[in-house]
Structure 1
Amino acid sequence: MIQRSHQPSLGILNTQKAGEKFQLLRVPPSEDLSHFIKHYWIIHWDLTGQEPHQQDVVPNPCANLVVQSRRTAFYGVSSTRHSHHLEGKGQVFGVKFRPGGFHPFANIAMDRLTDSSIGTMEILQVEPHMLEEQLLTAEEPEHKVQRMEELFRRVRPDNDESIERINAIVDEIHRNRDILRVEQLSDGFRMSPRSLQRLFKSYVGVSPKWVIRLYRLQNAAEMLEGPDHQDMLKLAMDMGYYDQSHFIRDFKAVIGKTPEVYVKERSS
């Protein structure tokens, strides 16, 4: 089943403009791989005769396999916003792992892959150019996914209960906007703050505090997009910041621009 994406879902910024530049499909994994994989994603674009497009993507607590011409690799969590340069005609095939879902494949502490990558040979025993030849073609999306899942099944590790625990924690951070401190998670999940830190460092690559900050700043962006823009100082305090300058600095690191510029661009 192919699902066309309409939601940024911890990813694409300025979706209205983005939809004019490329098409994004998301495909759910087969049940036997859903413990590890969140979804497959496929991007197509044709900007022939048009100006190149720079697409901003906000961070999220997930590792990805990205199959792209001459850049194919497994990528750990990106700690800040990053941009993708699209020009001409092309496509990218990706695998988005659940938070913590790539750790059993890599079998290393995921903080070693934060803002970094690892080659496909080390995980799948397949050269990058072979994946590009097989997946960056005109084949139907279902065929691409089927080929990718065949490769993952060859190296599939055992299920790991820590992945389910991590996803429960991440889901709670996302759902409950009142969570501003790691101690709140510690109490709710009956884990010490130190145990939470160790778990996220090993399986995700970033701290639970980083994940809390990420979701709160995205919540702030949503509020700034509303018709009634909040007072900046009040918004910063609602997000758990004690000074406005710290809030602005973090907002820019994640969203890519200051709150003031963000509001002006949405209003123009």
Structure 2
Amino acid sequence: MTDPTRGVLYPERLPRFTRLAAEGAASDLVEWFWIPEWDLPDGVVSRQPILGYPAANLAIEPDGVTLWGATTRASERELRGSGWAVGALLRPAAYARLHDAPSDLVDAHIVLDEPELQHAVSAAMPDLDAARVTASAWLVERIGAPTSDGRLANAMADLLMNDSGILRLDDAAERLRVSVRTLQRLAHRTVGLPPAAMIRRRRLQEAAQRVREDPDVPLADVAAELGYADQAHLANDFRTVLGFTATDYRAAR
């Protein structure tokens, strides 16, 4: 499974945070489950900036169930008091069955009327494994086995989100043995984002993690390692999505 801090801009600020792999039939539907738990003193606010994956999330919380679409920018959540969430990073095969127009849900969310799911997961908490099993069972029953199109979409997401060697759409299309146009259409109807945007998000996550973990590495080296044209291109990507440059991120840390 991918490093649990990838996409988390300030992991030291996290409350208790667990990522659990999906198992069995749910592994075709969920990349992994993420479960934060927090219990903060009165008046304390924990701000969690996240550079999300180019994917949708199903979030089950004490007050309801929400389907979050893919994002084009970083997001931030403020944590107060005590609470928890059981989230599922959805694979495209699952997302396309939960929402018929993923592109309409980019940078947006909808509340799902699923009280039985919410009550069942609430009853399972704080047993994290039981919560995962409960959420998995609901997804498998609700969605069923992926279609052939869904499996191709899953393979596309795996490649674009996890293979650092994929820098161009032509490379991804060749690996998947489809045309670039087919790849673009598939991403549109199952993720909501262009495949090029998925590649850019993976590179930016990798860049942020590299800067965070090695404060002495020259930013020009980071840019070259990850396929950016130059350091200015890296800085522009940071600024466009995060609102600050890699230099600002390093200084803030």
Provide the TM-score with structure 1 as the length reference. 0.79
> After superposition, where does 1:3-14 map in structure 2 within 5 Å?
7-9=4-6, 11-14=7-10
> After superposition, where does 1:112-127 map in structure 2 within 5 Å?
112-121=104-113, 126-127=114-115
- 2:96 counterpart of 1:109: no
Q: How many angstroms does 1:176 deviate by?
A: 4.1
Provide the TM-score with structure 2 as the length reference. 0.83
Aligned residues of 1:105 and 1:157 also touching (Cα < 8 A): no
- 2:66 counterpart of 1:73: yes
Corresponding residue of 2:245? 258
| Deviations 1:113-167 (CA, angstroms, capped at 9, x unpaired) | 211223323xxxx24xx54444345542233334334433442333223333333
Percent identical? 25
> Tell me, which stretches of 5 or more residues in structure 1 are unaligned?
none
| Deviations 1:14-41 (CA, angstroms, capped at 9, x unpaired) | 21332xxx11123333412221122222
> After superposition, where does 1:1-268 map in structure 2 within 5 Å?
7-9=4-6, 11-18=7-14, 22-49=15-42, 51-70=44-63, 72-106=65-99, 108-121=100-113, 126-127=114-115, 131-136=117-122, 138-225=125-212, 226-232=214-220, 235-236=222-223, 239-242=226-229, 246-266=233-253
Change (3 A) 1:229 1:91: same
Question: Matches of 2:218 and 2:51 in 1, distance apart?
Answer: 22
Change (3 A) 1:223 1:29: closer
Question: Matches of 1:251 and 1:195 in 2, distance apart?
Answer: 29
The alignment's C-alpha RMSD in Å is: 2.9
| Deviations 1:156-202 (CA, angstroms, capped at 9, x unpaired) | 33322333333333333345434322122223323221111000000
- Aligned residue identity for 2:154: N
> Tell me, which stretches of 5 or more residues in structure 2 are unaligned?
none
Question: Matches of 1:172 and 1:6 in 2, distance apart?
Answer: 16
